[in-house]
Amino acid sequence: MAKGFFGRLGMLLVLALALALPAHAEATAASDRPAKSKTVKSQAAKSKGHKARAVKAKVAKSRAARKALNARRAMDREMGYYRVVNGLPVLRSAYAVVIDQQTGALVYAKNPDQATPIASITKLMTAMVVLDAALPLEESITVSEADVDHLKHTRSRLPIGATVSRSDLLHMALIASENRAAAALSRAYPGGREAFVVAMNRKARNLGMTESVFVDGTGLSSSNRATAQDLARMVSAAHAYPVIREISTLGSYDILVPGRRNLRSLAYNNTNALTRNKGWDIGISKTGYINEAGHCLVMQAKISDKPLIIVLLDAQGKYSRIGDANRLRRWLENGAMQRVAKHTPGRQA
């Protein structure tokens, strides 16, 4: 009887275990699901992160490639790679002249007699008028609200209330084309700006600049106009001023101006990058830009040991005036100095 009892008990235990095992397995599986779900989600997040990083890397690589391409194109322009049509280099400037300074011979011309806005090339005339007046270069001038550009709203690092020498103002105007400095120079002229503009136009007439008009000392107004031929006369005249030669060809210049607590140094770089190029022998330099005038550059420079006056106006593109200068240089070095060339009027392709 005992044997039968224990036998039935064993059978009940086996049955109970059999019933319990599936429930336990189901509970174990249920407890495993969150862990597996978390693992899947983690893997998905990692995959998404990898894809995002891959996209960012691809974009960065693309940007770097574009930047490198733009840099190469800029270098090509600055190196002056060019093509010649009918023996003349194709330039991006709308108006241009190259004149042999020793003989006065016209070496290259493109629309030389058409008047056009000249932007900050004006500042060469500003410098000559200041120097002609024999005003003390070390005299201090305080920058005022009257010197702020309310026409083009150009920026200036020269603070209102700063007191700097006339010499420093000339440096800033000729090297960095600082408009506020040029405005202060004209305001500090005997008789003020009105008398200064009269002196500018009188100087232009004396130089034979018959197609030129000046209305301010900064060049911000598009009413400052001249022909490339007239500007060649102005550049040649400005080259006779040692102060202008020295200042305009400096690669950079530092001045001290009042800060919030102490004096602070302002570094100004020459807007003509060729002044920092040892391959160029430049005797005078000035750049200019406003929308109406395009990118402009005038220089006196020696090429193949010949002193030349170079005028480039309304160049298409930021680097084109530098590119055109280099194109002309290569053309001249390749034998063009042996002949006088005159280009048919009209913008080149």
Question: What is the biggest distance separating any 2 CA atoms in the chain, rounded to whole angstroms?
Answer: 145
Cite the active site residues.
120, 123, 177
The set of residues, in sequence order, having a beta carbon less than 8 Å from that of 98 and lying 6+ positions away, is: 106, 107, 108, 109, 308, 309, 310, 311, 328, 332
- Nearest CA to 236 out of 267, 207, 260 is that of 207
Structure tokens at 90: 């194709």
- DSSP for 314-339? EESSTTHHHHHHHHHHHHHHTTGGGS
User: How many whole angstroms from its chain centre is CA 324?
Assistant: 16
Structure tokens at 45: 């997040």
CA distance 66 to 70: 6
CA distance 10 to 28: 26
CA distance 176 to 178: 5
Given a contact cutoff of 8 angstroms between Cβ atoms, the answer to whether 330 and 122 are in contact is no
